[in-house]
């Protein structure tokens, strides 16, 4: 995930130099705190902390823990699929990658956010889901599952302004999904819903904070490539995990298990 953040987020020249230092000396992140890293990179500790926050972390310690976990995993398991990979190699690597996606997503889950969102879902008269492209099938499935529990739910691939203008904002809870965080259709949908004072829950990643900053609450998914070839995306596993977690919690609350 951190490598994707380095390549996705717009960085200042000084931050680019810091990234270069990190790439050349990953052991510095493993061994040093922010003050010590500042001495090694000639960048102030406060700037390093702001840099990690720009990447979506709470601070340097949060960044360091994630970096160490990813670096250790990468060096323990050679998970890169390349042109020379054998069939047996791919068969062995894919389950490990899938497991890492789910583990990373579970690490991002915050219990207090889950509890609040479940309470919002219980209070809502209607639950709406917004997603498009490959993500649309996930919200269709989620809406069907909630309807089977007697909860009114709908799936949309774009926002209908007339519909939003017609409902009572406190009656409807909306989930807006963008794995990139900057899908303009989804960002616009979240913005319009929030403008109408309707509660919005984001399911997004740290690759871009545009959607996350608009929503009342957000679940952070793993949108990393995990060394897979271009065009093979597995963020859907992460989205499915979040949706199923919420649906299972609703089944427990509704005593439907």
Query: Domain locations in the chain?
Result: 2-76, 111-253
Other C-beta atoms closer than 10 Å to the C-beta of 231 total: 5
Angstrom distance (rounded) from CA 160 to CA 189: 9
Residue 77 has pLDDT above 60, yes or no: no
Angstrom distance (rounded) from CA 233 to CA 162: 34
Angstrom distance (rounded) from CA 218 to CA 204: 7
Element containing residue 201 per DSSP (H, E) = strand 199-204
Angstrom distance (rounded) from CA 200 to CA 205: 16
Superfamily (CATH) of domain 111-253: Glucose-6-phosphate isomerase like protein; domain 1 (3.40.50.10490)
For the 2-76 domain, the top CATH level (class) is mainly alpha
Tens digit of each residue's pLDDT (9 = 90 or more) over 136-187: 999 999 999 999 999 999 999 999 999 999 999 999 999 999 998 999 999 9
Q: Is the pTM of this model over 0.85?
A: no
């Amino acid at each position: 995930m951190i490598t994707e953040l380095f390549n996705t987020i717009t960085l200042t020249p000084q931050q680019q130099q810091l990234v270069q230092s990190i790439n050349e000396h990953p052991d510095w992140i493993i061994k040093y705190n922010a003050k010590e890293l500042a001495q090694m990179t000639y960048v102030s500790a406060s700037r390093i902390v702001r840099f990690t926050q720009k990447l979506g972390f709470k601070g340097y310690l949060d960044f360091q823990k994630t970096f160490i976990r990813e670096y250790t995993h990468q060096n323990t398991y050679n998970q890169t699929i390349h042109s020379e990979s054998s069939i047996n190699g791919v068969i062995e690597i894919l389950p490990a990658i899938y497991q890492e996606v789910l583990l990373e997503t579970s690490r991002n889950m915050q219990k207090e956010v889950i509890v609040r969102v479940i309470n919002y879902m219980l209070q809502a008269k209607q639950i709406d889901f917004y997603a498009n492209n490959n993500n649309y099938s996930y919200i269709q499935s989620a809406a069907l599952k909630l309807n089977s529990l007697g909860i009114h739910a709908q799936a949309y691939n774009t926002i209908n302004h007339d519909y939003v203008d017609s409902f009572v904002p406190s009656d409807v809870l909306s989930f807006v999904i963008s794995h990139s965080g900057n899908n303009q259709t989804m960002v616009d949908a979240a913005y319009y819903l929030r403008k109408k004072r309707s509660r919005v829950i984001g399911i997004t990643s740290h690759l871009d904070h545009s959607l996350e900053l608009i929503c009342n609450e957000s679940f952070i998914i793993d949108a990393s490539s995990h060394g897979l070839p271009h065009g093979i995306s597995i963020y859907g596993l992460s989205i499915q995990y979040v949706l199923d977690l919420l649906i299972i919690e609703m089944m427990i609350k509704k005593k439907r298990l």
